[in-house]
Structures are given as structure tokens and as C-alpha cells.
A and B are shown apart, each in its own frame.
Chain A
Amino acid sequence: MDLATILQILDSTVRLGTPLLLACLAGLFSERAGIFDIGLEGKMLMAAFFSGAVAAITGSVLLGLTAGVLSSLLLSAIHGAASITFRGNQLISGVAINFLASGLTVLIGQKWFQLGGRTPPLSGDGRFAPITLPFAETLREVPVIGPIYYELISGHSILVYVAFAAVPLSWWLLYRTRFGLRLRAVGENPAAVDTAGISVVRMRYAAVMICGLLTGLAGAYLATALSAGFVKEMTAGRGYIALAALIFAKWRPVPALGATMLFGLLEAIANRYQNIDLGGVVLPVQFMQALPYILTVVILAGFIGKATPPRAGGEAYVKER
């Protein structure tokens, strides 16, 4: 395997890992505040649809992005209302949101475009264009470093850089600010936070909304940067892989980067090679597709390290009984 092939695989790793990274960080904020979210998939799908649809209608990717994020925030608000205000089952609310997105995107898509649920293909300003970083062209001829800089680091859409910047930002927000301390505390021991005079409800809504913002970016990336338009069910389980990555990363931002890029790499390899021959043993492509899930189960089983979720996760906070 030569450098060019490796770079191509790594390049698609970054492309495919980015939506996972954004969704994983989204889940991280929500679950760290004690709100389980298996509705990442649905929120991404909704955002992908509205960003693709609005970008197709207006021709502006920024308007598309705004619409996508707003739709994702709306679903987050429903999840928040169900699991914070009405103290419902967070898992069931997540399941409902996934179905809601899956049905509504096709219903509205068919009504607006009559294309069987897809949106018209995007071009020009309707998509996020790749950004060529400074000196990428001039440094291209430099051996090894040049191609790495040109192929791998430069030439992605703005959302990829936003996603990577979100990792240190999330770390800083969670571990170095008062807001982050409170957010983590609300997921571990909400009663203590309440005693300190901080509103548990407000903290949890804030976390759920950050989650909506990030899944919105993830969905918009899928429809307007990775592809050129929305296709029915285009998230294809990415929300669940992000959830798996979140467990893999043990609910921490920097390992989340590693986990999502690992899963992105697996997807890139599965896309490029159908079956992998490891000297006699042939790994079928389906094995590569299932590997993120298998790895997550192994991690969850505690055979490699222990994944301990936030202690108050999944429980509604009741102030007085």
C-alpha cells in the first residue's frame, strides 16, 4: 500500500468520521447531564432533510444549515419536555423521535419535491465547498508532508474543521468552566446541584439544546457537504454508531475523537475493499460493517476497561416527593 492510497483512506476516514464526531459530542453533552439520548439518529436525519431541502429551495447553504439546526433543536425541545418537564422515559422518547424523523422527512419531502423522499441535488452555493488551506498548493510538492497537508488536512468543508475544533472546545467547556462542572454534576448527583441553588431543569435543558445544535450540524454536514442533497434514511444508523462511540470513549470528549475516527476508518475500509484477505482468513465486508457494534458490546461487557455511564443518567429529577 503506497502513501497515496493510505492518504485516500485517511481522507475518507475524516469525511466519514466527522458526522459521527459531531453526533458523539452531542450525545456526550446530553448524557453527561443525565439525559440519555437514543434519538441522535432522528435528530440528524431531520437536520439533514431540512438543510438539504432549504438549501435546494433557497440556493443558500447557510440558510439550509440554519433550518437544519432549528429542526434538530425542535426535536431536542420535545425530548427535553418529555424527559425533563414531564419526567417520561428518556429511552422511549428517543425511540419516538427516531420514528418521527424517519416518517416526517419522507412525508414533507414528498409533499415539497415529489421525488420519493429525496431533495433535488445541490450544487454551487447550495453546498459547503472544500476549503483549501493556505500554502496547500505550494507545499504540495514537498515529499511526505506536502501530500499529507494537501490531501488530508486541507480541502475539507468548514464543518469538518468546526467538528475538530469542537473537541477541545467541549473539553474546555466541560472541565474548565463553571457551566461544565455544573453540567457534569447534574448528571452524577442532581440533588446536590439543586441543594447548591442551581436549577437542575435549566442545566438539563441547556445540555439537551447543545445536543440539538451539534446533531443539527452533523445532519447538515451529511446532506450539504458529504453528499449533495438529502436521501431517504440517509443517516443509515450513524446516530447509533455515534452512541456506540460515546460508550467507547467512556463519555469523554478527546477519546470521542479517537473512537469516531476509528469507526470512520472502519467505514472507509469497508467502502473501499469488499473483502479483506488476511493471509488465508477472509474478512467479509459485513464483518467490517458490524465491527463498531461488536467492539462496543465488548467494551460494554467490561472485558477491555470499564465503561461507567453518568450515575444519574436516564432518571428524571424529582425535587419533592
Chain B
Amino acid sequence: MTRMPRWADVALIPLLNLVIAFAISGLVILAIGENPWAALKIMVTGALGSSYGWGYTLYYTTSFIFTGLAVAIASHAGLFNIGGEGQATLGGLGVALICLSLPWPHWSLALLAASLGAAAFGAAWAAIPAWLQAKRGSHIVITTIMFNFIALSLLNYLLGNVMRPARSMDPASARFPEGATLPTLNDMAAGLGFVWGKNTPANISLFIALLCCLAVWALIWKTRLGFQIRAFGKSEPAAVYAGINPVRITMYAMLISGGLAGLMAVNNVMGEAERLVLNAVEGAGFIGIAVALMGRNHPFGVLLAALLFGFLYQGGGELALWTTIPRELITVIQALVILFTGALDNMVRAPVERLFARRGAR
């Protein structure tokens, strides 16, 4: 069969998938008696119309870049890491333990240590499913799902019984010390002499996320390990035949993946909440799946998709504020994006391929 041109594969098909997903989302809005056009306008003004909206949009984007990259790198190794939620939860635990352990003198030291802690805890939580997959052949999808629930119970126990300060009622850790407060984008803009995004949580970890995009890109396409990961993901028997150690690649890919998911906690736990609360991840681990699918597992694609989902999240919040449309509309849109860009991809791909084949034959 004639191959499709590259632009069609990289841009046209994802775009078509997305258009279908959003068209159906529009129909859903219509079906619950609201105007999709008006809804879209509220979302755009709410999320992108002011520096306040952008401040939130970029805050969500930061989280989704981390979890999206986590899913993407595992996908390159042919592994479906559905455990970003649990790994990010554990990352939060790492951040909290480090932030609370010392009276940090300066945020930069705290950020460095907390990033390492977050990545280490996230990676450790991914290590067990990875080892079980590599050594015992236990299906990683099932084990990472189980580990999401185990992480939730673990955190529930720790926050309720161990980390909760005396005389406090809600299951949350103590507030982090002053020195562990990360500069927000608002602070940084103020340092440069202008006002931007007052009272928004977007913070310096956005830049860590962007660096991670770059690092993942370099890792996958510019290093020997990245080549091995891709080879392993394309065909395990071929990779093994070429002398690539499957246990090693599975472990590396999942440790990096878990570490990236864990790093998300620097944004939401250290940058925003400044204490560890239950359910701090709020589904960002799962959104990583949609983000990676839409971004075709490429770091730049992940960045764009994370921005789109950041917009959807902030816009969805605004919708819930100004209309009767509940926030859960975003969950529906997310589901449709996953369905059409992931599971039903062939539905769009096959006709487009046929179209190109016919043009090529002529």
C-alpha cells in the first residue's frame, strides 16, 4: 500500500480525530440544552482572555506535561503506564517529606531536593510493576492500576495517622516551611517589573516541565538508550535478537516514566498547595494518557496537547462558574479525545489512507 505523506500522519489525522471529538462534545453540550458556541466563548475568554486565566491554564499545563511525558516514554518501550496517578501521588509524598524535613534557607535548594525526592518516589512506585513485568511477566497495565489504589490507601493512612499535625482535623500534612515556597510566574513577572497573573498558581516548575520535554526528546532520539527503548517497543523479539536486554529496558523506561509522573508533585504539591492533601493529583495521571495519545508520544506534541488540556481544564472551571454546565463536561471531552485519537484511530486513518492511495495510483 502507498504510504501516506508524513504530514498527513503527523498533523492531518490527529487533527481530524480532534475535530470529531470536539464536534461530538459540541453535540453533548447541545443535548443538555446549552449553546456550544457560547460555551466555547466562555472557555476561551476564561482560560486565555486574561493573564489570570493564563496563570491557571499554564499551571494545569505544567502538570499535564509531566504526566504526558511519563505515558509517552513508556509507550516508546511498548509499555502502557496507566499508573501515573499513583506515581504522582507518591511523588507528592516525596516532596512533602523533603520539604518538611529541613527549615529550607532558600527555595532553589528546596526545589532541587524536592525534585529529586519527587522523581525518586515516583520511580520507586513504578519500579515494582516494572520488575514484575520484566521478570515475572505480570501485565503492567493491571499491576499499575492496582498500584494506583494501593498508593491512595497508603496516602490515606499516612495523612490520617502519621503526617497529620496534632489538633488538626483534616487529613493533610503540616504546611511547608517558608523557605520551600516556590516563586510563581506572577512573582517572576513582578521581578521584571510588570504585573502578570496575580493570584494564580503557575510557578517556576513550568520551566522544569519544559526542560523535561527537551530532555525526553534528546533521550529518545539522540541517545543509545533511547534507540534501545524504541527498538524494544517496536519489536521485542528483534530487539532481544540484537542484544538488547529486555529486563534492563523495561526497568529504565518505567523508572524514567515513574520519575516524570512523580515530578508533577513539584508543581501541584510544592508550587500550589504547599502541603500534602488527599487526592492532590486530581486525575492528572489519567489525563497524561490523553495527552500522550494526542501528542503522538512526541515531547513537542505532548507540550501542545498539555496546553490544550490545560485550556480545557481552566475553561471547564469557568464554564461551571458561569453556566449550568458541570465541570464533568471536561471528563466527557477527555473521554472522546482518548476514544477518537486512541482507540478509534483506524476509523479515520483507513479512509484517509485509501484516499492517498487512490491519488498515488493516479
A residues neighboring B (CB under 8 Å): 36, 38, 78, 81-83, 86-93, 95-100, 102-104, 106-108, 110-111, 117, 237, 240, 243-244, 247, 284, 286-287, 289-290, 293-294, 296-297, 300-302, 309
Contact = CB atoms under 8 A, between A and B. Distances in A.
A28 to B, nearest CB: 15
Contacts of A301: 132, 136, 138
The majority secondary structure among interface residues of chain A is helix
B328 A297 contact: no
Nearest to A285: B157
Nearest to B128: A297
B156 A100 contact: no
Given A93-B342, A95-B286, A107 B335 contact: no
Contacts of B132: 297, 300-301
The majority secondary structure among interface residues of chain B is helix
A82 B342 CA distance: 9
Contacts of A36: 141
B331 A103 contact: yes
Contact of B326 (A107, A240, A247): A107
A103 B335 contact: yes
A6 B288 CA distance: 45
21 contacts: A82-B339, A82-B344, A88-B344, A89-B342, A91-B80, A92-B289, A93-B339, A93-B342, A95-B286, A96-B336, A96-B338, A99-B338, A102-B335, A103-B330, A104-B328, A106-B326, A240-B149, A289-B153, A290-B150, A290-B154, A309-B139
A290 B28 contact: no
Contacts, number: 149
Interface in B19-67: 28, 32-33
Interface in B292-334: 293, 324-326, 328-334
A99 B150 contact: no
A286 B343 CA distance: 35
B142 interface: yes
B235 interface: no
B293 A92 contact: yes
A233 B329 CA distance: 15
Given A91-B82, A92-B342, A99 B138 contact: no
Interface size, B (range)? 35 or more
Contacts of B289: 92, 95
Contact of B138 (A38, A90, A289, A300): A300
A315 to B, nearest CB: 13
A82 B17 CA distance: 14
B181 interface: no
Given A86-B350, A106-B326, A289-B156, 11 more contacts: A86-B345, A86-B347, A91-B141, A92-B343, A96-B335, A103-B335, A243-B142, A247-B142, A286-B154, A287-B157, A293-B150
Contacts of B342: 88-89, 92-93, 95-96
A300 B329 contact: no
B82 A95 contact: yes
Closest 5 CB pairs of A and B: A103-B331, A99-B335, A93-B343, A103-B332, A290-B153
A154 to B, nearest CB: 34
Contacts of A83: 343
B218 to A, nearest CB: 27
A86 B344 contact: yes
A99 B142 contact: no
B310 to A, nearest CB: 17
A237 to B, nearest CB: 6
